[in-house]
């Protein structure tokens, strides 16, 4: 097996774009809007839908990953780097699910689902500070961004130092050896 399943490839790049937009654009912009601003609920609803779509696609991706044959682990030339890459890939899944889970946690704490999707009149709290899930969401965002930078550095190491065109495994083409 030379490459990942094409559905995994499509979802890898779609999710990478969606997650980076959420981390770098959507989330930070949302945080800037005060909770008593008339646009806050609109922005929150958009962010929640975006995050829930990421969560659903991640579940589809995880099931596909577990059910399809994957290429053998890449060799970065050192046992520690190889183990690090495996752990980093696992941590990427864990942190994305942590973002979605903590986001849902914030929503449940302050009744956001009922306000956004069922027309409930419950007012928003003045801010989300002090909600444990909100703190977890911020910490997971910082860790995920750092891990993505590390993941891209791993790609650059393969691309420019080892020159083994590892990225071809996460692209389309003949899969059988
Ligand atoms: C932004 C969010 C991203 C996430 C959550 C993510 C997640 C992952 C995961 C979990 C894998 C392991 C394969 C699997 O189990 O499915 C993987 C593989 C890979 N990713 Fe990403 N990725 C992201 C962005 C990127 C970016 C921006 C690049 C390139 C610059 C990239 C390049 C690769 C490559 C080349 C592989 C294949 C590694 C191998 O064959 O061992 N990824 N990615
Ligand atoms: C992978 C998916 C998600 C990403 C990448 C993401 C990203 C972010 C980021 C970067 C922030 C600002 C955090 C900070 O800098 O402290 C944020 C805030 C927030 N997110 Fe998410 N999020 C995701 C999923 C969700 C989901 C599924 C929900 C709810 C169902 C949600 C609800 C919220 C709320 C309520 C805030 C607080 C906004 C504020 O402080 O005004 N997020 N998100």
Distance from the alpha carbon of residue 102 to the mean position of ligand 1, in angstroms: 23
DSSP the chain: --S--HHHHHHHHHHHHHHHHIIIIIHHHHHHS-TTSTTHHHHHHHHHHHHHHHHHHHHHHHHHHHHS--PPPP--SSHHHHHHHHHHHHHHHHHHHHHHHHHHHHHHHTTHHHHHHS---PPPPS--TT-HHHHHHHHHHHHHHHHHHHHHHHHHIIIIII---GGGGGS-S----
**pLDDT the model gives residue 176:** 87
Atom of ligand 1 nearest to the CA of 155: 35
* Domain layout of the chain by residue ranges: 6-170
Q: Which residues line ligand 2 (CB under 6 A)?
A: 19, 22-23, 27-28, 30-31, 44, 47-48, 51-52, 54, 96, 99-100, 103-104, 106-107, 128, 134, 137-138, 141
- 12 CB less than 6 Å from ligand 1? yes
Per-residue pLDDT of the chain (177 residues; tens, 9 = 90+): 899 999 999 999 999 999 999 999 999 999 999 999 999 999 999 999 999 999 999 999 999 999 999 999 999 999 999 999 999 999 999 999 999 999 999 999 999 999 999 999 999 999 999 999 999 999 999 999 999 999 999 999 999 999 999 999 999 999 987
| pLDDT at position 52 | 98
CA-based nearest residue to 165, from 177, 153, 175, 157: 157
Q: In the prediction, which pLDDT does 122 show?
A: 94
> pTM above the 0.85 mark?
yes
């Amino acid at each position: 097996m030379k490459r990942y399943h094409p559905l995994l490839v499509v979802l890898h790049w779609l999710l990478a774009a969606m997650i980076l937009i959420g981390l770098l654009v959507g989330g930070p912009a949302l945080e800037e809007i005060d909770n008593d601003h008339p646009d806050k609920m609109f922005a929150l609803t958009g962010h929640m839908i975006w995050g829930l779509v990421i969560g659903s696609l991640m579940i589809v991706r995880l099931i596909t990953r577990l059910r399809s044959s994957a290429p053998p682990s890449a060799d970065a030339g050192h046992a520690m780097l190889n183990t690090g890459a495996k752990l980093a890939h696992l941590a990427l899944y864990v942190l994305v699910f942590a973002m979605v889970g903590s986001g849902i946690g914030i929503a449940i704490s302050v009744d956001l689902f009922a306000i956004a999707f069922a027309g409930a009149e419950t007012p928003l709290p003045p801010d989300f500070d002090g909600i444990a899930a909100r703190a977890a969401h911020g910490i997971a965002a910082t860790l995920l961004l750092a891990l993505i930078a590390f993941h891209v550095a791993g790609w650059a190491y393969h691309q420019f130092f080892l020159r083994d065109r590892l990225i071809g495994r996460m692209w389309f083409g003949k899969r059988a050896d």
